[in-house]
Chain A
């Protein structure tokens, strides 16, 4: 049998290449320099508001109040109330990430099956873009006004239907309430980050599966799900990081106690009862940086894999 292997044409090797003149090198360098000028403000912003604060946190975590190096702050991270705060933060982030990822993925899939330029898709993606950023005081107030102790839905349910939302306790201002409120911005964020991956699924793959004898279930199990899994996991990790680092919503909703790490850091920095805990706050912040860095590294790894398949 004759086999014909296709070999891409190799580029000819120029072994006697003329040396590049100095003026050309200078011009190329000047062009590169000019191109970089445009991103200088971005890098300046990153340095001032990310790199320097991170360094301050990292250095402060290893320093005592009088400036001497110490590991006491890191040791204090093992204290029961701080460990509990980390556990609750991770639980809150994980639960809202998983719920947000599942519901967001289902919504994104519904959008993908709609007309690409249809009004439904444009409307929902625009709304998701806004709602994913709708956190903080506004969101907390919206929930307090609707299902807070005196919220209009709470009162309606109680007065008209006899249902008391708070018969088991004031859950809205504790971890269950945070989970509900966080899910509100996690779902639209999932739609935004997962939609491109779903768009990358080509109809030919389904048709190829069918023509090879596969059912719809086999297509999902053997083609679509393995292809989407990295993107789904990556998006879930992004949602986790989003919830883990969120502060304003929790701060606005929870006025009593500090159930999660960001609120513990606030206490350490602003407490008028226990003074001199700034560096403990920095140690907790460093702990958060480590957790988020690990999560984002995994996210980047999965994104790289996804872009190769679905790009």
Chain B
């Protein structure tokens, strides 16, 4: 399919249906845009990808999240064709592209930083891919301008990369990647080189634009907040494998493994005892995430409990003592020491902080949200 045959602007309603949060797209056998099938890749002694399987629905944005070296960038680069897999297949739109070189894969890519061509203006950068596709000059200019408008930087079209801030450069890089109307958009930690404020602003912009154009997108990041904020589904990777793949709320609230619970968000490791499908922690019976205790059975475990699932009440007879508090804006984190030296971190409204001075006796109550456990 040539560039001209695919219109730039897509039907907003269909885009929303494909990529909106209200209807999380889940791939069915006949609606798979991208299929990574059994990918393996080894670098020396490191297994970067270990039988990785991933399916993306059309218009879906999946964020691959994980610590450094977990294989998320390798997965993205294999999909882009910039890296070869040792084994496994890459299918896009049902077509096997495993052997296709990167320049014939029809993918737009935004890199971490410094990927704009420094000798070209913002407009010329965006036109670059269209030029390679032999789009006529006037049409090229018009589409590049429209892309720059889309990413909110149309007024900076004549500026060179060194005349743009980091956030502006990444906007241009996004426009350049989208201008060729790729089948898949690949974002390789595009926000990691930016300062916090611009990062949040651009993160939201990327999501808005992705929904607007409806391009199937793979977003690689090590920032869990970023992944949870933008993705339809989040894939948490560890040692080349997907530990869990699901909607952000599911990954956060019902982590399938202790690693996911530990990596995504903050967790208390509290001693408990498993009995059936519940675990008793600090005197409260908490439901287990289905399958969380498989392989562990009954008995002593560590339960991973979110700070926001811990309630504190000032009580002179309470067993806990406040150790310290960290102000985080609307909420604060309060560290509480128990008599058996267990440390419990609770997330409370900052308005309560004046009552929770260090040394204050408190009573701890756990909300009955499902938790995962690991062997003690």
Contact = CB atoms under 8 A, between A and B. Distances in A.
**A, B co-complexed:** yes
Interface of A: 1, 3-6, 8, 202, 204-205, 207-215, 218, 222-223, 226-227, 308-310
A214 B176 CA distance: 13
B285 interface: no
A223 B152 CA distance: 26
Nearest to A309: B118
20 contacts: A1-B149, A4-B205, A5-B152, A5-B153, A5-B155, A6-B198, A6-B201, A6-B202, A8-B165, A204-B111, A204-B114, A207-B115, A208-B111, A209-B128, A210-B102, A211-B103, A213-B106, A214-B132, A223-B119, A309-B118
Nearest to A227: B119
Interface in B82-106: 82, 101-106
Contact of A214 (B103, B168, B198): B103
Contacts of B159: none
Contact of B115 (A8, A208, A213): A208
Contacts of A308: 118, 162
B111 A309 contact: no
Given A207-B109, A308-B162, 12 more contacts: A4-B152, A6-B202, A202-B114, A205-B115, A208-B176, A211-B80, A211-B81, A211-B109, A211-B186, A212-B108, A213-B132, A227-B119
Interface in B110-137: 111, 114-115, 117-119, 128-129, 131-133
B358 to A, nearest CB: 36
A204 B115 contact: yes
A202 B119 CA distance: 13
B180 interface: yes
B167 interface: yes
B171 interface: yes
A310 B119 CA distance: 10
Contacts of B154: 3
Contact of B111 (A1, A207, A213, A226): A207
Contacts of A226: 119
Nearest to B182: A211
Contacts of A8: 165
Interface residues of B, number: 42
A213 B180 contact: yes
Contacts of B117: 205, 208, 223, 227
Contacts of A222: 128, 131
B345 interface: no
Interface of B: 80-82, 101-109, 111, 114-115, 117-119, 128-129, 131-133, 149-150, 152-155, 162, 165, 167-168, 171, 176-177, 180, 186, 198, 201-202, 205
Contact of B150 (A1, A202, A211): A1
B6 to A, nearest CB: 14
Contacts of B108: 211-212
A4 B103 contact: no
Nearest to B128: A212
A226 B128 CA distance: 14
Contacts of B171: 6
A207 B73 CA distance: 14
Nearest to A3: B152
A3 B150 CA distance: 7
Nearest to A9: B197
A212 B114 contact: no
A210 B105 CA distance: 9
Contacts of A227: 117-119
A227 to B, nearest CB: 6
B115 A218 contact: no
Contacts of A1: 149-150
Contacts of B186: 211
A202 to B, nearest CB: 6
A53 B153 CA distance: 55
Nearest to A229: B119
Nearest to B156: A5
A212 B118 contact: no
A212 B132 CA distance: 8
A227 B118 CA distance: 8
A310 B132 CA distance: 23
A207 B103 contact: no
A309 B116 CA distance: 11
Q: Give the 8 A-B residue pairs with the shortest CB-CB distance, closest first.
A: A212-B129, A210-B102, A3-B152, A211-B109, A204-B115, A309-B118, A213-B132, A4-B152
B119 A213 contact: no
A8 B205 CA distance: 17
Contacts of B132: 209, 212-214, 218
Could you say which of B103, B108, B133, B154 has the most chain A C-beta atoms within 10 Å of its C-beta?
B103
A47 to B, nearest CB: 36
A4 B180 contact: no
Contacts of B152: 3-6
Contact of A6 (B80, B105, B167): B167
A286 to B, nearest CB: 38
A225 B102 CA distance: 21
Contacts of B82: 207, 210-211
Nearest to B202: A6
A213 B133 contact: yes
A67 to B, nearest CB: 54
B44 to A, nearest CB: 14
A222 B132 CA distance: 10
A212 B198 CA distance: 26
A91 to B, nearest CB: 32
A94 to B, nearest CB: 27
A213 to B, nearest CB: 5
Contacts of B168: 6
Contacts of A5: 152-153, 155
Contact of B149 (A3, A209, A310): A3
A139 B12 CA distance: 74
